[in-house]
């Protein structure tokens, strides 16, 4: 696909600005009524979903040209999908996120790249992760755990740790804990260790599509080799790309794909994982974009006139993962869930996605601080989420703000309730 | 003198000799009103139609004379129809046609000279009612009352400040004819009626709303020859209730609670003296009757209309009783000297002659302005302090609070009753109290007489723009010259 | 209407740009063409096939009244024009000249005050209807939300646009809800309309003496042609329900917890007369929190456009929907007490019975009531108007009696039917009026909605001929057509209505000596190119103009 393939989508923009707001049924206050970090931070219409579509149309019709400034507008966006969800409440014929992705690919084709993104892509090419950490150390997080090495043996569950969990020392206990929980439940868990590589989704989002396809091929071959019946990942980014991007590229993963929260929920329901200890907190939950609205599985490509596209084939976030993490919180002994105003399909982004964390850390932090404010407004004693990128940026933001609001990876709370490994608790 | 005679001839050429008068007894009614004095009316002319009104305005422009439009019969209360210096009075009372009454669309189209006394029975025949201010003068022009933004007594029907006036026909100070609202066209009134329209949309035409500029302008922007007027359905069942109480704050609380869900029809608050003045036609009896009243009384009406009238009244009364209980007050069907039936009659009619505010002492002065209901007690304290300062018994001040715009704000009116020989003292109190109230935040939205200086001193930016508007609509200042903030050199 | 090209567009001068930067800060000004095009793409209710309006020379994002003043003064100094908007919905927001600085007011986004007792809110331009409603509800209040939907700015509709909405029966009209406004005039000076200019609060909109509210707008606003409104006080209305209506889902999957004091009736009458009469009685009984006549086909079009497409091709279903359930009326009742809602419900049923009407109590049907409640209460389904083809436009005449508006719905339907048959617009079964009552049916409103796909050349070619056909029909009915935004139509219509535009030009000249405001949607006049209009229609228009043109003595009889 190319940008020009989406000209009808762009021409279809009525400039109604629904893309800037939480879907109207769900606006609950003045303070938390907006959904798009980019337009909220930079204010010119060009920074909204609609505005970026108009940029695309303007360029395609020869009214304006791509330059560094315009490219930067394209990149100052987390690709969180909130605009797309809000637009699709009303429209069948506009795939806003796809336009945003095509704009990025167009920028890359035309050579308008962000230095920080190039660094990430170079790192990816060199070390198979976007953080630039040594590939050889990718599996170190699992040292000492009785996990199978899928490079040598087959397993029931293939555990894909993801880039950030593999290397972020602050999240080391979490990712180990996730694996321990699966083992505790009696599952036969395998990992690829140093051979695990990035899912490639971030590369795709930055406009580097070829790289993404390569990584998809790579993962597919590993899954096949492992014989796993379940691919599970604690990384929401990875989950979304496995469920949406890969099938869309024609790379259907030949086993069940689950996010860790889904598998943990299942294990609890099946009685294979039991809670022994109290987690006496009032918690609020942040829906990671890639687990929620962007975590919706690929619904198939509609080939005809999009005005005729059935609802069931419209990527509107309805089938994202919203209940599993909430059910986990509800299952925690002593814990209580209080919701923020912007949740589920219309959750406010943490700020880290779409290459913003790498290229515009101040914008990522601004976005995260807004989410912390929203969490604080609930009166919650803790903010739980289920994505390493969200945990990272929200934790940093809370610290910067001096907010007394611990940010938990949901796995850590489950570990505590399950009473596993004192030293690895939160 | 010769110059005047020439002018009179020219005026007569427009309206006919019989409609030009320089009779002293007539001219004298335009020399003073309220606190405004010093008018020098030269003649009174009585046009028959819009064409003559336009001719008069054109003549005034050509000759440089000041035209003061007047639609109501005496007594003159506010001074807006008293010329500042010399002026020709244009008495609109000949234009007294009720042009159209439309039951289905609840609307009347009336000329400027139509009085409440004339209109009410005609409207009543259709099962409709006129939205009235409190006890208007018997000869009060309905259109003039609307133009002066006199508050109507049913707040739920007062959606906006132009109510109940809808569309108008204007003759600007330029002599140009204009129609506002949906009367503007295309088409004549007759053509519009044939198309099903009834001049019910009060806004526009297009992107200006000149009726709002003309309303409240005391005749300085345009003459208004006719207007459409919204009417309401006459209830099948109608009851009046009184809520007397010693504490105004409790009654205000009750009023807020009741008006929010649009309970009640008529709704006003009176102090004991104002209530006694209204209900007693015997001046001697007023002080005693006032003494028998509670310090303040809410007077309200409840209505049932065509559909399930009993049920409507029943739910309104139940809800009102709940709100009354919550506010710590209670309703009765009568107060000393007045049954609810009597009050119903009083509220449904113009004032008997002489005008009811003349009853206690023979003369009176009103001070009124807009505020919000919750601010009313504060202004009352200011007024009482002023009365005490001037040795005027505070319990003899009339206080009338009329919620408007569905309770969002209120017309607050103080009445100083006095014997005509005490006028200088009353004027002192009036001047001082007006100033004190203005300083305390009274919004003199209808700035008659000296209030215009007080009011416009607070809003120089508004004045700057208003003067430009005046120059646009009345470039030669032939309409009620020198009034409001439109002073011109040489006219005091 | 401008056929916008970039041929005449020029970059802003350095000196002017520096002044704008000084006014609002460098980060809040842009002259980047791609950014500017974000303001030049204005397809909604734009009957110009180009869809691009004039590209502004710069866009600014002021954060305060003072900054707006500085921007306006800079425009005056440099011979530029300005055009402000709040949320930017519709073609009215865009420039009509080549040298326009677009003032995007989205940084002025606060609710400054809600006076619960006296029922008003003081707001800035970029507060949207949904936000104000959410905050008002916490205080037992509600606000008028216009037909363009909850994304729109209540300030914009009250000061500068129109102000129509389904809740008008209980919550009036934008202009009439105004209690005061802060107004930056085209010369950069600021005035305040009403009691606020006297420093006495925002409770009263008129006076002392004449009201400047009459200058700032009429039934339509000046659409920035007279300056910029930076705050305003708006009436709020009672909401005796919960502080928040809990809703699951986003729209078509919505499940709302409908308050117990709400009833929602979908009523049908056997013919127009009985519908018309019944609605007059509803007004007299003072019933209704929301009210509209909506054809069932329009309902289906709103909530199930795919289904409507199928129905449109099925003759028998078409007939049932177009005729069998044509005369429908939607009314929502809200009671402040159990007794009140019981009374309202009973009175409505009695009116229905007297006029042979039937009611489906939609709230009682879980899937429907739950789904549509927020559509009416918050007007959330309105952007669905874009769903069928991407765009819509509207045929508007002036508001007056309910009878005239029912006429207009039928006239609109007949014109639409012809264009549907020609393939010039999408098929929504033709009868799709947006109707509302105001102030207990003191007056009423109707606009005939039609949908089209701007990507279809045949549809684009239909827009202007349809526009003139609707306009001629309105004039024939003694009604003002939608002339406010169209300098061509204004030139035709103004002489039929007291030459109102001569006065608007005078108002403009009075407050805007440098012609700094973009007056394309206020008082400009442009000749209409009739080359694409059928000769018979043009001849009819000429006859009407001849018939209605005001003479020195007023409208010719």
Backbone CA torsion sign across B421, B422, B425, B431: negative
CA of C279 vs chain B CAs: smallest distance (Å): 11
Predicted complex ipTM: 0.96
- CA–CA dist A48, A51 (Å, integer): 5
**Per-residue confidence band for C5, with pLDDT thresholds at 50, 70 and 90:** confident
Q: Which of B103, B30, B36, B33 is nearest to B67 (CA)?
A: B30
CA of C541 vs chain B CAs: smallest distance (Å): 13
Check if the beta carbon of residue C132 is closer than 8 Å to that of residue C153. Answer: no
Q: Which of B470, B468, B490, B469 is nearest to B478 (CA)?
A: B470
| Single residue among B93, B117, B138 that ends a domain in this structure | B93
Residues 6+ apart with CB under 8 A from C210: B212, B213, B214, B215, B216, B217, B220, B221, B466, B469, B484
pLDDT at A424: 45
- CA–CA dist C367, C360 (Å, integer): 13
* Residues B283 and B404 grouped into a single domain: yes
The A residues from 331 to 360 touching C (CB cutoff 8 Å) are 345-346
Across the beta sheet with A157-159, the strand order is A148-149, A189-191, A157-159, A230-233, A256-259
Interface test with B, best of C210, C401, C497 (most B CBs within 10 A): C210
Q: Give per-residue pLDDT as tens, C235-285.
A: 999 999 999 999 998 888 888 988 999 999 999 999 999 999 999 999 999
Instruction: Of A197-201, A211-215, B165-169, give the lowest mean pLDDT range.
Output: A211-215
Whether the upstream peptide bond of residue C217 has omega within 30° of 0, thus cis, is: no
Average pLDDT over residues C46-73: 95
Beta-bridge partners for B70: B91
Residue C3 has pLDDT above 50, yes or no: no
pLDDT at C367: 66
What is the domain range of residue B23? 2-93
Strands (E), C214-322: 228-235, 237-238, 247-248, 255-256, 262-269, 290-292
Beta-bridge partners for C451: C392
> Which SS3 state, helix, strand or coil, does residue B171 take?
strand
Delimit the CATH 3.30.465.10 region(s) of chain C. Answer: 111-238
pLDDT at C371: 81
Q: Give per-residue pLDDT as tens, A110-162.
A: 999 999 999 999 999 999 999 999 999 999 999 999 999 999 999 999 999 99
Average pLDDT over residues C112-138: 98
Q: Give per-residue pLDDT as tens, C509-538.
A: 999 999 999 999 999 999 999 988 999 999
Beta strands B86-91 and B67-70 are parallel
Q: Which of B97, B319, B325, B326 is nearest to B189 (CA)?
A: B97
Q: Which of B271, B235, B237, B239 is nearest to B252 (CA)?
A: B271
The A residues from 10 to 69 touching C (CB cutoff 8 Å) are 11-18, 20-21, 23-30, 33, 43-46, 50-51, 54-55, 57-59, 63-66, 69
| Phi, psi dihedral angles at A311 (to 5 degrees) | -55, -35
Which CATH code is given to the segment(s) C14-104? 3.30.43.10
pLDDT at C4: 55
Q: Which of B387, B289, B274 is nearest to B338 (CA)?
A: B289
Domains of chain A: residue spans and CATH: 1-113 (no CATH), 116-270 (3.40.50), 275-287+322-426 (3.40.50)
Q: Tell me the pLDDT of chain A averaged across its residues.
A: 96
Q: Which of B174, B159, B331, B171 is nearest to B241 (CA)?
A: B331
- CA–CA dist A367, A369 (Å, integer): 5
Question: Does the distance separating the beta carbons of A21 and C151 come in below 8 Å?
Answer: yes
**Per-residue confidence band for C364, with pLDDT thresholds at 50, 70 and 90:** low
- CA–CA dist B455, C195 (Å, integer): 10
Q: For residue C107, list chain A residues with Cβ-Cβ distance below 8 A.
A: 43
Beta-bridge partners for B296: B245, B271
List helix spans (H) across B280-400. 286-292, 309-327, 340-347, 376-389
- CA–CA dist B126, B113 (Å, integer): 21
Q: Does B261 touch chain C (CB under 8 A)?
A: yes
Q: How many CB atoms lie within 10 A of CB B435?
A: 16
Q: Which of B450, B406, B411, B410 is nearest to B431 (CA)?
A: B450
- Classify each residue of B473-486 as buried b or exposed e, where b means 16 or more C-beta atoms within 10 Å of its C-beta: bbebbbbbbbbbbb
| Single residue among B207, B233, B259 that ends a domain in this structure | B233
pLDDT at A421: 60
From the CB coordinates, do chains A and B have 3 or more pairs under 8 Å? no
Residue C76 has pLDDT above 50, yes or no: yes
* Residues B277 and B408 grouped into a single domain: yes
* Residues B211 and B324 grouped into a single domain: no
* Residue from the list C117, C212, C490 with its beta carbon closest to the beta carbon of B374: C117
Average pLDDT over residues A390-409: 97
Give the chain A residue nearest C39 (alpha carbons): A45
Q: Does C542 touch chain B (CB under 8 A)?
A: no
HSE (side-chain half, CA atoms, 13 Å) at C134: 22
The A residues from 71 to 130 touching C (CB cutoff 8 Å) are 73, 85, 89-93
* Residue from the list C208, C340, C479 with its beta carbon closest to the beta carbon of B319: C340
Delimit the CATH 3.30.43.10 region(s) of chain C. Answer: 14-104
Residue C332 has pLDDT above 70, yes or no: yes
pLDDT at C2: 40
**Per-residue confidence band for B153, with pLDDT thresholds at 50, 70 and 90:** very high
Check if the beta carbon of residue B122 is closer than 8 Å to that of residue B98. Answer: yes
* Residues B103 and B88 grouped into a single domain: no
Q: Does A312 touch chain C (CB under 8 A)?
A: no
Question: Does the distance separating the beta carbons of A65 and C132 come in below 8 Å?
Answer: no
Pick the CATH number of C261-462 from 1.20.120.330, 3.40.1050.10, 3.40.640.10, 3.40.462.40: 3.40.462.40
- CA–CA dist C536, C468 (Å, integer): 12
Q: What's the pTM?
A: 0.97
Give the chain C residue nearest A92 (alpha carbons): C387
Contacts 24+ apart (CB under 8 A), B390-393: B390/B425, B390/B428, B390/B429, B390/B432, B392/B416, B392/B425, B392/B429
For chain B, how many structural domains are there in total? 3
Return the DSSP state at C500.
H
- CA–CA dist A408, A396 (Å, integer): 12
Residue C228 has pLDDT above 60, yes or no: yes
* Residue from the list B178, B261, B371 with its beta carbon closest to the beta carbon of C238: B261
Q: Is B27 part of a structural domain of the chain?
A: yes
The size of chain B, in residues, is 492
* Residues B215 and B244 grouped into a single domain: no
CA of C261 vs chain B CAs: smallest distance (Å): 13
Average pLDDT over residues A409-417: 97
HSE (side-chain half, CA atoms, 13 Å) at B212: 29
**Per-residue confidence band for B410, with pLDDT thresholds at 50, 70 and 90:** very high
Whether the upstream peptide bond of residue B164 has omega within 30° of 0, thus cis, is: yes
- CA–CA dist A13, C516 (Å, integer): 30
pLDDT at A422: 44
Q: Give per-residue pLDDT as tens, A274-287.
A: 999 999 999 999 99
Report the C-alpha dihedral over residues B243, B244, B249, B255, rounded to 10 degrees: 20
Number of helical (H) and strand (E) elements in chain A, helices listed first = 19, 9
Q: Is B476 part of a structural domain of the chain?
A: no
Question: Does the distance separating the beta carbons of C404 and B459 come in below 8 Å?
Answer: no
Question: Does the distance separating the beta carbons of C28 and A29 come in below 8 Å?
Answer: no
pLDDT at C211: 98
| Single residue among B391, B417, B439 that ends a domain in this structure | B439
Q: Give per-residue pLDDT as tens, B216-234.
A: 999 999 999 999 999 999 9
Give the chain C residue nearest B314 (alpha carbons): C339
pLDDT at C9: 92
CA of A99 vs chain C CAs: smallest distance (Å): 15
- CA–CA dist B125, B482 (Å, integer): 43
Whether the upstream peptide bond of residue B205 has omega within 30° of 0, thus cis, is: yes
Residue B195 has pLDDT above 80, yes or no: yes
* Residues B204 and B329 grouped into a single domain: no
Q: Give per-residue pLDDT as tens, B155-173.
A: 999 999 999 999 999 999 9
User: CA of C24: how far to CAs of A45, C18, C60, C61, in Å?
Assistant: 17, 10, 7, 7
* Residues B29 and B114 grouped into a single domain: no
Percentage of chain C modeled with pLDDT above 90:
83
Question: Does the distance separating the beta carbons of B159 and C442 come in below 8 Å?
Answer: yes
Degrees to nearest 5, angle at CA C346 with C344 and C350:
115
Cα A249 to its chain centre, rounded Å, is 18
Q: Does B4 touch chain C (CB under 8 A)?
A: no
Percentage of chain B modeled with pLDDT above 90:
95
Percentage of chain C modeled with pLDDT above 70:
98
Average pLDDT over residues A195-207: 95
Q: Tell me the pLDDT of chain C averaged across its residues.
A: 94
Pick the CATH number of C111-238 from 3.80.10.10, 3.30.465.10, 2.40.128.720, 3.30.930.10: 3.30.465.10
- CA–CA dist B293, B314 (Å, integer): 27
Q: For residue C173, list chain B residues with Cβ-Cβ distance below 8 A.
A: 203
CATH number, domain containing residue B128: 3.30.465.10
Residues 6+ apart with CB under 8 A from B381: none
* Residues B81 and B129 grouped into a single domain: no
CATH number, domain containing residue B80: 3.30.43.10
Residue B266 has pLDDT above 50, yes or no: yes
Q: For residue B186, list chain C residues with Cβ-Cβ distance below 8 A.
A: 475, 478-480, 493, 496-497, 544, 548, 555
Q: Is B475 part of a structural domain of the chain?
A: no
pLDDT at B489: 61
pLDDT at B492: 43
> Which SS3 state, helix, strand or coil, does residue A199 take?
coil
* Residues B278 and B360 grouped into a single domain: yes
pLDDT at B383: 98
- CA–CA dist A267, A275 (Å, integer): 11
Q: Is B209 part of a structural domain of the chain?
A: yes
Residue A230 has pLDDT above 50, yes or no: yes
* Residues B256 and B219 grouped into a single domain: no
CA of C387 vs chain A CAs: smallest distance (Å): 5
* Residues B279 and B368 grouped into a single domain: yes
Instruction: Of A293-297, B121-125, C331-335, C365-369, give the lowest mean pLDDT range.
Output: C365-369
Question: Does the distance separating the beta carbons of B466 and C219 come in below 8 Å?
Answer: no
Q: For residue C198, list chain B residues with Cβ-Cβ distance below 8 A.
A: 443, 455, 458-459, 462
Beta-bridge partners for C228: C184
Residue A426 has pLDDT above 80, yes or no: no
* Residues B215 and B336 grouped into a single domain: no
CA of C429 vs chain B CAs: smallest distance (Å): 26
- CA–CA dist C130, C315 (Å, integer): 40
Degrees to nearest 5, angle at CA A18 with C461 and C374:
110
Q: How many CB atoms lie within 10 A of CB C200?
A: 24
Q: Does C483 touch chain B (CB under 8 A)?
A: yes
Check if the beta carbon of residue B450 is closer than 8 Å to that of residue B84. Answer: no
Beta-bridge partners for B91: B70
**B-C interface: how many C-beta pairs under 8 angstroms?**
340
């Amino acid at each position: 696909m190319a940008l020009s393939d989406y000209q009808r989508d762009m021409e279809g923009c009525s400039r109604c600005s629904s893309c800037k707001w939480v879907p109207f049924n769900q606006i609950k206050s003045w303070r938390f009524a907006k959904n798009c970090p980019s337009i909220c931070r930079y204010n010119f219409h060009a920074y909204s979903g609609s505005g970026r579509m108009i940029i695309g149309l303007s360029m395609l019709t020869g009214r304006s040209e791509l330059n560094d400034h315009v490219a930067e507008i394209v990149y100052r966006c987390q690709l969180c999908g909130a605009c797309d969800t809000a637009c699709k409440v009303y429209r069948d014929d506009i795939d806003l996120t796809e336009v945003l992705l095509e704009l990025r690919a167009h920028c890359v084709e035309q050579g308008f790249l962000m230095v920080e993104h190039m660094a990430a892509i170079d790192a990816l090419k060199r070390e198979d992760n976007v953080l630039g950490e040594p590939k050889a150390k990718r599996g170190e997080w699992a040292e000492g755990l009785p996990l199978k090495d899928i490079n040598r043996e087959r397993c029931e569950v293939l555990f894909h740790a993801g880039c950030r969990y593999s290397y972020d020392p602050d999240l080391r206990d979490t990712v180990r804990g996730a694996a321990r929980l699966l083992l505790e439940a009696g599952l036969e868990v395998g990992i690829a260790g140093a051979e695990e590589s990035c899912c490639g989704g971030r590369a795709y989002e930055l406009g580097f599509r070829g790289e993404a396809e390569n990584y998809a091929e790579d993962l597919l071959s590993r899954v096949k080799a492992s014989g796993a019946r379940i691919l599970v990942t604690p990384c929401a980014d990875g989950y979304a790309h496995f469920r949406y991007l890969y099938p869309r590229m024609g790379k259907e993963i030949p086993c069940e794909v689950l996010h860790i929260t889904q598998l943990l929920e299942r294990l609890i329901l099946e009685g294979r994982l039991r809670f022994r200890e109290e987690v006496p907190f009032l918690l609020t939950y942040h829906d990671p974009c890639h687990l929620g609205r962007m975590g919706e599985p690929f619904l198939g490509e509609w080939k005809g006139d999009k005005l005729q596209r059935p609802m069931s084939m419209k990527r509107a976030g309805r089938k994202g993962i919203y209940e599993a993490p909430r059910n986990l919180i509800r299952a925690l002994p002593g814990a209580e869930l209080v919701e923020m105003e912007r949740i589920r399909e219309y959750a406010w982004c943490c700020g880290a996605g779409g290459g913003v964390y790498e290229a515009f850390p101040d914008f990522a932090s601004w976005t995260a601080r807004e989410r912390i404010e929203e969490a604080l407004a609930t009166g919650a004693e803790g903010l739980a989420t289920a994505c390493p990128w969200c945990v990272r940026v929200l934790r940093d933001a809370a610290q910067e703000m001096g907010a007394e609001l611990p940010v938990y990876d949901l796995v850590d709370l489950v570990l505590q309730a399950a009473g596993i490994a004192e030293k690895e608790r939160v | 003198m010769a110059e005047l005679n020439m002018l009179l001839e020219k005026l007569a050429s427009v309206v006919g000799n019989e409609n030009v008068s320089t009779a002293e007894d007539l001219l004298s009614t335009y020399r003073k009103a309220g606190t405004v004095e010093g008018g020098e009316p030269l003649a009174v002319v009585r046009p028959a139609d819009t064409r003559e009104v336009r001719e008069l305005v054109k003549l005034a422009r050509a000759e440089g004379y000041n035209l003061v439009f007047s639609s109501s019969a005496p007594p003159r209360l506010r001074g807006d129809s008293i010329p500042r210096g010399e002026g020709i009075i244009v008495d609109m009372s000949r234009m007294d046609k009720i042009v159209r009454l439309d039951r289905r669309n609840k609307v009347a189209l009336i000329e400027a000279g139509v009085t409440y006394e004339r209109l009410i029975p005609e409207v009543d025949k259709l099962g409709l009612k006129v939205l009235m201010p409190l006890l208007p003068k018997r000869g009060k022009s309905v259109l003039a009352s609307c133009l002066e933004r006199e508050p109507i007594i049913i707040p739920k029907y007062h959606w906006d400040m132009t109510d109940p006036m809808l569309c108008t026909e204007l003759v600007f100070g330029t002599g140009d004819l204009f129609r506002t609202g949906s009367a503007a066209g295309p088409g004549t009134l007759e053509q519009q009626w044939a198309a099903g329209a009834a001049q019910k949309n009060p806004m526009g035409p297009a992107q200006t709303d000149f009726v709002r500029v003309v309303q409240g302008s005391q005749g300085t922007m345009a003459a208004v020859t006719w207007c459409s007027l919204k009417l309401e359905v006459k209830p099948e069942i109608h009851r009046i209730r009184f809520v007397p109480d010693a504490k105004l704050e409790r009654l205000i609380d009750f009023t807020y609670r009741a008006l929010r869900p649009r309970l009640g029809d008529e709704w006003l608050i009176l102090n004991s003296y104002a209530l006694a003045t209204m209900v007693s036609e015997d001046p001697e009896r007023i002080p005693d009757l006032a003494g028998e009243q509670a310090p303040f009384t809410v007077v309200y009406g409840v209505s049932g209309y065509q559909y399930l009238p009993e049920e409507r009244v029943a739910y309104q009364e139940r809800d009102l009783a709940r709100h009354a209980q919550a506010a710590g007050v209670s309703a009765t069907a009568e107060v000393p000297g007045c049954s609810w039936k009597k009050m119903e009659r009083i509220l449904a009619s113009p004032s008997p002659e002489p005008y009811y505010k003349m009853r206690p002492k023979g003369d009176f002065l009103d001070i009124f302005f807009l505020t919000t209901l919750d601010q009313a007690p504060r202004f009352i304290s200011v007024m009482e302090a002023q009365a005490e300062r001037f040795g005027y018994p505070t319990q003899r001040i009339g206080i009338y609070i009329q919620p408007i715009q569905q309770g969002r704000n209120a017309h607050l009116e103080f009445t100083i009753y006095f014997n005509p020989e005490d006028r200088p003292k009353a004027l002192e109190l009036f001047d001082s109290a007006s100033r004190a109230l203005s300083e305390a935040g009274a919004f003199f939205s209808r700035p008659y007489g000296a209030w215009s200086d007080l009011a416009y001193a607070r809003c120089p930016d508004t004045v700057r723009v208003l003067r430009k508007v005046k120059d646009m609509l009345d470039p030669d200042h032939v309409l009620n010259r020198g009034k409001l903030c439109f002073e011109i050199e040489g006219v005091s | 209407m401008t056929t916008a090209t970039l041929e005449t567009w020029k970059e802003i001068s350095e000196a002017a740009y520096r002044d704008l930067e000084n006014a609002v800060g460098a980060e809040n000004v842009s002259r980047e063409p791609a950014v500017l095009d974000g303001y030049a793409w204005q397809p909604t209710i734009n009957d110009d096939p180009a869809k691009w309006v004039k590209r502004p020379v710069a866009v600014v994002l002021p954060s305060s009244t003072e900054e707006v003043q500085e921007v306006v003064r800079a425009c005056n100094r440099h011979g530029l024009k300005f055009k402000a908007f709040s949320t930017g919905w519709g073609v009215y927001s865009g420039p009509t000249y080549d040298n326009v600085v677009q003032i995007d007011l989205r940084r002025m986004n606060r609710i400054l005050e809600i006076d619960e007792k006296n029922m008003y809110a003081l707001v800035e331009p970029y507060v949207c209807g949904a936000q104000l409603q959410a905050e008002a509800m916490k205080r037992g209040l509600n606000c008028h939300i216009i037909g363009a939907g909850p994304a729109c700015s209540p300030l914009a509709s009250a000061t500068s646009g129109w102000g129509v909405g389904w809740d008008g029966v209980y919550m009036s009209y934008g202009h009439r809800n105004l209690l005061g406004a802060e107004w930056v005039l085209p010369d950069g000076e600021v005035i305040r309309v009403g009691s606020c200019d006297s420093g006495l609060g925002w409770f009263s909109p008129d006076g002392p003496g004449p009201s400047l509210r009459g200058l700032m707008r009429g039934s339509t606003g000046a659409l920035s042609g007279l300056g910029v409104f930076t705050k305003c006080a708006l009436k709020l209305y009672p909401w005796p329900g919960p502080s928040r209506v809990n809703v699951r889902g986003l729209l078509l999957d919505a499940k709302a917890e409908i308050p117990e004091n709400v009833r929602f009736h979908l009523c049908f009458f056997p013919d127009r007369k009985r519908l018309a009469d019944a609605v007059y009685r509803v007004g007299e009984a003072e019933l209704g929190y929301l009210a509209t006549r909506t054809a069932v086909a329009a309902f289906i079009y709103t909530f199930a456009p795919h289904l409507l497409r199928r129905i449109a091709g099925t003759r028998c279903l078409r007939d049932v929907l177009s005729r069998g359930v044509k005369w429908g009326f939607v009314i929502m009742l809200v009671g402040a007490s159990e007794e009140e809602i019981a009374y309202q419900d009973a009175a409505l049923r009695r009116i229905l019975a007297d006029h042979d009407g039937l009611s489906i109590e939609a709230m009682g049907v879980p899937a429907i009531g739950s789904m549509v409640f927020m559509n009416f209460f918050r007007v959330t389904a309105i952007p669905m108007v874009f769903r069928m083809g991407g765009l819509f436009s509207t045929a508007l005449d002036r508001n007056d009696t309910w009878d005239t508006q029912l006429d207009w719905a039928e006239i609109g339907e007949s014109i639409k039917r012809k264009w549907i048959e020609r393939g010039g617009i999408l098929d929504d079964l033709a009868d799709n009026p947006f109707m509302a009552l105001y102030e207990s049916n003191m007056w009423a409103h109707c606009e005939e909605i039609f949908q089209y796909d701007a990507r279809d050349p045949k549809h684009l070619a239909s827009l202007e001929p349809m526009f003139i056909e609707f306009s001629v029909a309105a004039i024939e009915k003694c009604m003002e057509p939608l002339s406010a935004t169209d300098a061509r139509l204004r030139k035709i219509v103004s002489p039929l209505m007291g030459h109102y535009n001569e006065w608007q030009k005078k108002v403009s000249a009075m407050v805007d000596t440098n012609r700094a405001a973009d007056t394309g949607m206020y008082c400009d006049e442009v000749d209409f190119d009739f080359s694409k209009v059928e000769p018979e229609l043009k001849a009819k228009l000429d006859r009407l103009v001849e018939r209605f043109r005001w003479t020195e003595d007023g409208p010719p009889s």
